[in-house]
Chain A
Amino acid sequence: DTEVTQTPKHLVMGMTNKKSLKCEQHMGHRAMYWYKQKAKKPPELMFVYSYEKLSINESVPSRFSPECPNSSLLNLHLHALQPEDSALYLCASSPTLGGWETQYFGPGTRLLVL
């Protein structure tokens, strides 16, 4: 099983809502990532987890709150988002951290903030 799954596929939320994005992998990978991708732009890294601990936060606003409850699961909690946060949110995993590692990406959650 070389699949990273993400739910939901699409999400529409108001600026006062609280919602969560979920990412799951069963490849035994110990590194997991959140990326944000705006239309026609490359993915931008948001967070990196290694062995369930936050390793990198790329100065992401606090309205985005990541959580890694176990080695297979990664959540992104959303609160008080702005319309400019509308984007495709991609999750990825790799066996460990390291420049030689391959990252496996999920299909993404397309988020629209109204």
Chain B
Amino acid sequence: DAKTTQPNSMESNEEEPVHLPCNHSTISGTDYIHWYRQLPSQGPEYVIHGLTSNVNNRMASLAIAEDRKSSTLILHRATLRDAAVYYCILSFQGAQKLVFGQGTRLTINP
């Protein structure tokens, strides 16, 4: 499984945008980029995923670098409820599993 690197922690303020980076320099052409988050005392929750193009959904946007060696999860207007551990995960096309890394613990200040 290709490896991802994320900052251990980040801090932001409520109602401001948050950009969560993920490096994946060994990504292969068939690796999907997934983002999940885990709120305190809950199971992980799907946020967004993509392959090559940038993606938007109601929760967030995913910006993928042109060479695909990095990506950024964008929360457009953070709320206190967005405080969680965010996991960036690569999963190749034939994969049967997700392999979670250490993730980024995001703190949102009121």
Contact = CB atoms under 8 A, between A and B. Distances in A.
Interface of A: 4, 31, 33, 42-45, 48, 50, 55-56, 90, 92, 97-100, 102-108
Interface in B1-48: 30-32, 34, 36, 42-46
Interface of B: 30-32, 34, 36, 42-46, 49, 51, 85, 87, 91-103
B44 A99 contact: no
Contact of A100 (B32, B97, B101, B103): B32
B87 to A, nearest CB: 7
A87 B85 CA distance: 18
A103 B99 CA distance: 12
Given A98-B93, A99-B32, A99-B94, A45 B44 contact: no
Contact of B92 (A43, A44, A99, A105): A99
B96 A55 contact: yes
Contacts of B31: 99
A50 B36 CA distance: 22
Given A55-B96, A99-B94, 11 more contacts: A43-B44, A45-B97, A45-B98, A97-B95, A98-B96, A99-B31, A99-B32, A100-B49, A100-B91, A100-B93, A107-B42
Given A42-B87, A99-B30, A99-B31, A105 B45 contact: yes
Contacts of A43: 44, 100
Point out which of B30, B36, B98, B99 has the most chain A C-beta atoms below 10 A from its C-beta: B98
A42 B101 contact: yes
Contacts of B103: 42
B102 A42 contact: yes
